[in-house]
């Protein structure tokens, strides 16, 4: 189904406004304007959520940000394959969460000619993702997990564990109530 030309122009204009202006402007007013623009582009963002300055949103129509979520500055949120940040998740500086990447199954054929695939990512409630962590498509976390700084999450993380490393692996379990 093709969008009418006026809707395509509006969507492109709002995307450029978000990417080139509002994303990089500090302050409350630009942040509020940015949330309104992202919502008009299809994102679902709770009023109590916070996206830090410089955070890039790719595919806002696939983004769901729930109550009390904080995303620090300069993150990349790729929501083309559906990205959900559950209640009170905390995402550290410069984290990259991908939901789309290249297919790479055929040898002898350039990667860029093999197409793309999507896989949803969910960051569980009350999960803390440290600075510069990376998530590949399809790698989600359970609730109350901690992902160490600079970890590369390549598969699902169970609830209530601490993971770190490349690729991320369980370092320890979190104690109840701790």
Residues with a known catalytic role = 102
Cα–Cα distance measured from residue 78 to residue 162, given in angstroms and rounded to the nearest whole number:
24
Cα–Cα distance measured from residue 40 to residue 42, given in angstroms and rounded to the nearest whole number:
5
Distance of CA 61 to the CA centre of its chain: 12
Classify burial at 80, counting beta carbons within 10 Å of its beta carbon; exposed 0-12, middle 13-18, buried 19 or more. Answer: middle
Cα–Cα distance measured from residue 54 to residue 59, given in angstroms and rounded to the nearest whole number:
16
């Amino acid at each position: 189904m093709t969008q009418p030309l006026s809707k395509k122009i509006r969507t492109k204009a709002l995307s450029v406004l978000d990417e080139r202006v509002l994303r990089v402007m500090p302050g409350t007013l630009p942040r509020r304007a940015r949330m309104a623009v992202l919502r008009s582009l299809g994102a679902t963002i709770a009023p109590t959520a916070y996206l830090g300055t410089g955070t890039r949103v790719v595919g806002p129509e696939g983004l769901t940000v729930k109550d009390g979520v904080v995303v620090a500055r300069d993150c990349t949120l790729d929501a083309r394959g559906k990205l959900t940040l559950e209640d009170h998740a905390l995402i550290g500086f410069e984290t990259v969460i991908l939901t789309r990447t290249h297919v790479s199954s055929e040898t002898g054929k350039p990667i860029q000619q093999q197409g793309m695939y999507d896989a949803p990512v969910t960051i569980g409630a009350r999960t803390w993702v440290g600075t510069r962590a990376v998530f590949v498509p399809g790698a989600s976390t359970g609730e109350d997990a901690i992902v160490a700084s600079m970890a590369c999450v390549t598969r699902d993380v169970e609830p209530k564990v601490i993971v770190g490393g490349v690729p991320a692996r369980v370092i320890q379990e979190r104690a109840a109530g701790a």
